[in-house]
Structures are given as structure tokens and as C-alpha cells.
């Protein structure tokens, strides 16, 4: 089971897990995940950490309590997170009762490796097959080319048809998430802005926008927002425009191919 409230993340996970031969069920929040685990057994649960209503930590605690109360064999629960530091890793291991973690954007290789660790020894571990890349230039990398390279890698990982599905979903959902983030910055609602930035950070990593990742980290950590919020908002909008323009161009190319 995959527990994630963001449709682009769900689609990436589904395509990669199905490519590994897994049957995939989805829950959109922690409450739904707890309910589904109580009704049916799963081989493993991939649990997003930050979700509205009931986050991944509390959902895991409730699942573990249910297992103790019913004598059920504990299901392996793997955290899904855009980034994880030593403090968060301790929270996963010690407080919530999660078994492992995978950082976003995840690949077939790290998904298969974690499944092998927790399911069975004969579970096939695949190797990522990155597209060939030219030698690194001496000049600073072109942000647009970095995004195009990430998009080519996405097509390589998911297949043209799978990548097209994910990209179209991204084009629907990312503008809404960005609008919510910009509105929170304008209202000086730093807590809401921080949550929105964390949610978008995985998408920024998936599409190779290093500058966008830096800006989202600044918002997430609430660094100098009181004085720089307007500048950050302008920069965010500009960087997202660049990403979405490259995504649109890739979609047009894939529609011709498929």
C-alpha cells in the first residue's frame, strides 16, 4: 500500500512498483491508511510523513497499536519523505515505529532494495539505468538543461506513456499548490507556507530544479521570510514558470511519440 495525498507522487510510485511486479493499493491520508490496514493485510506500507489531517507518524503509531491489540504480525512500514536528517531518522525508528525510509524522488532501484530488505530474499533488486550524460561543463549548468535532463531521465525510468501520465498530472496539481504557497507567503502565514513548500520540494527534486529546491527549503525552514517573503515569492513564481514550460514542451514531444 502507498499512503500519499499528492496525485503526482501516487502515479510515480504506482508505475515503479507495478514495474517491479507489485499490486498497489492507495490511501490518500493517514486515517484511510489505518482503516485499510485494519480491514486487510498488506505485505508493506509506504507511508508519506507529512500529510494533512493525520500525518504518517501518528498513522503508524495507530497501526502499531492495532497490531498489538489484535496480535497481528507487524507490517513493514517504510517512510516516504522529501528529505530526512538524523533527527527525523530517529523519529522514524524510535517514536513512530517505522521500519525504514525512502527519499523522494524515489527510483525502482531503491524501492526494490527496500522491498528486498523487508519482504523476501528472492525479491529482485533492479539497477537504475541512467541515461548517458556528457562530461560536466566547466561553466555553470544551464537551469533549463538541468530540468530537461531530469525529464529525459523520468521518461527513461517510467516509459514514455508512464512519464506522460505523471507530467499531465503535475501540470494540473502543481499550479494549485504553488498558488496556495504564494497566498500563504502574502498572508505571512509561515506555518502554512512551510507545509506547502515541503510538499512541493519532492516535485522540484523530481524535475531537477536546484534553484527551486533552494527556495522551497528557505520557505520550509522559515529563513528570513519576515524580510524576504516578497522576493522569495517572485523568485518561486519565476522558477516554477521555467519548470512548467519545460514540462509542457516534454508533454508535447511525448504526445507525438505515443
DSSP string, 150-195: HHHHHHHHH-HHHHHHHHHHHHHHHHHHHHHHHHHHHTT-HHHHHH
Residues 232 and 172 in one domain: yes
Residues 25 and 75 in one domain: yes
Q: 189 with 225: CB under 8 angstroms?
A: no
Residues 231 and 159 in one domain: yes
Residues 161 and 218 in one domain: yes
Is residue 212 a part of any domain in this protein?
Answer: yes
pLDDT tens by residue, 97-107: 899 888 888 88
Ranges under pLDDT 70 in the chain: 83-94, 120-141
Number of domains in the chain: 2
Is residue 150 a part of any domain in this protein?
Answer: yes
Residues 245 and 155 in one domain: yes
For residue 227, give the CATH number of its domain. 1.20.120
Which residue range(s) make up the domain with 54?
2-118
Chain position carrying cell 502565514: 189
Is residue 71 a part of any domain in this protein?
Answer: yes
Residues 104 and 28 in one domain: yes
Among the three residues 84, 101, 118, which one is the final residue of a domain in this structure?
118
| Global pTM value | 0.78
pLDDT attached to residue 31: 96
Residues 9 and 108 in one domain: yes
Is residue 133 a part of any domain in this protein?
Answer: no
Is residue 207 a part of any domain in this protein?
Answer: yes
For residue 11, give the CATH number of its domain. 3.40.50.2300
Residues 6+ apart with CB under 8 A from 228: 218
pLDDT attached to residue 134: 46
Residues 149 and 108 in one domain: no
Beta strands at 100-103 and 26-27: parallel, antiparallel or unpaired: unpaired
pLDDT attached to residue 173: 92
Is residue 195 a part of any domain in this protein?
Answer: yes
Q: 193 with 226: CB under 8 angstroms?
A: no
Is residue 222 a part of any domain in this protein?
Answer: yes
Residues 98 and 197 in one domain: no
pLDDT tens by residue, 153-164: 899 889 999 999
pLDDT attached to residue 81: 82
Residues 174 and 221 in one domain: yes
Residues 90 and 154 in one domain: no
Residues 159 and 66 in one domain: no
Residues 6+ apart with CB under 8 A from 234: none
Is residue 81 a part of any domain in this protein?
Answer: yes
Angle, to 10 degrees, between the axis of helix 160-186 and the axis of helix 143-158?
Answer: 130
Amino acid at each position: 500500500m502507498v499512503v500519499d495525498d499528492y496525485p503526482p507522487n501516487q502515479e510515480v510510485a504506482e508505475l515503479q512498483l507495478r514495474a517491479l511486479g507489485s499490486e498497489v493499493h492507495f490511501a490518500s491520508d493517514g486515517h484511510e491508511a489505518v482503516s485499510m490496514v485494519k480491514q486487510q493485510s498488506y505485505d508493506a506500507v509506504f507511508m508519506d510523513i507529512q500529510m494533512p489531517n493525520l500525518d504518517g507518524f501518528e498513522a503508524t503509531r495507530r497501526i502499531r497499536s492495532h497490531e498489538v491489540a489484535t496480535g497481528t504480525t507487524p507490517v513493514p512500514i517504510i517512510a516516504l519523505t522529501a528529505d530526512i536528517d538524523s533527527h527525523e531518522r530517529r523519529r522514524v525508528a524510535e517514536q513512530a515505529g517505522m521500519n525504514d525510509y525512502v527519499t523522494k524522488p524515489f527510483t525502482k532501484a531503491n524501492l526494490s532494495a527496500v522491498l528486498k530488505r523487508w519482504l523476501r530474499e528472492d525479491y529482485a533488486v533492479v539497477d537504475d539505468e541512467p541515461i548517458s550524460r556528457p562530461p560536466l561543463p566547466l561553466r555553470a549548468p544551464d537551469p533549463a538543461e538541468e530540468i530537461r535532463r531530469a525529464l529525459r531521465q523520468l521518461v527513461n525510468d517510467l516509459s514514455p506513456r508512464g512519464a506522460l501520465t505523471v507530467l499531465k498530472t503535475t501540470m494540473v496539481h502543481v499550479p494549485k499548490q504553488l498558488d496556495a504557497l504564494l497566498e500563504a507567503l502574502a498572508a505571512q502565514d509561515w506555518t502554512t507556507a512551510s507545509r506547502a513548500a515541503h510538499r512541493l520540494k519532492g516535485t522540484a527534486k523530481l524535475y531537477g530544479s536546484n534553484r527551486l529546491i533552494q527556495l522551497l527549503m528557505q520557505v520550509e525552514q522559515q529563513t528570513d521570510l519576515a524580510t524576504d517573503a516578497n522576493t522569495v515569492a517572485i523568485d518561486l513564481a519565476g522558477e516554477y514558470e521555467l519548470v512548467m514550460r519545460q514540462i509542457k514542451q516534454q508533454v508535447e514531444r511525448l504526445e507525438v511519440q505515443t
